[in-house]
């Protein structure tokens, strides 16, 4: 169940980060409320996930997959350029998450 909470936390964080541009520097009320609410939901869900997943592993998965998703969203929907440096960087992040998960599982 902990990984279900973690997936929810990642989804909420990715949604919140995607909303940041719409807040216009937190000067637009409703996009700001939605953005901050999604960040709050993400942390609540993450706090539930760490009841069953090591904190370091959960945070690595949360931040790493969230970062990879935001790079993809920025490229596909926001017209941000995708360079080889970004691709390699995201690949290294994903590799790090995998290594931490394998190491976390071995530690049990």
pLDDT at 65: 93
Q: Is 108's pLDDT higher than 60?
A: no
Angstrom distance (rounded) from CA 20 to CA 34: 10
Do 61 and 6 meet the contact criterion of CB atoms below 8 Å apart?
yes
pLDDT at 100: 82
Domain ranges, ordered by start, for the chain: 2-106
Helices and strands in the chain, H and E counts:
4, 0
- pTM (two decimals): 0.88
Q: Tokens 């541009």 — which residue? A: 21
Tens of pLDDT along 40-51? 999 999 999 999
């Amino acid at each position: 169940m902990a990984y279900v909470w973690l997936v929810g936390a990642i989804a909420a964080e990715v949604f919140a980060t995607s909303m940041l541009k719409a807040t216009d520097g937190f000067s637009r009320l409703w996009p700001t409320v939605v953005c901050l609410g999604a960040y709050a939901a993400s942390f609540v869900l993450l706090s539930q996930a760490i009841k069953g997943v090591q904190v370091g592993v959960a945070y690595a998965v949360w931040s790493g997959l969230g970062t990879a998703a935001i790079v993809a969203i920025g490229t596909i929907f926001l017209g941000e350029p995708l360079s080889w440096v970004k691709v390699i960087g995201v690949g290294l992040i994903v590799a790090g998450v995998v290594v931490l998960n394998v190491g976390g599982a071995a530690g049990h």
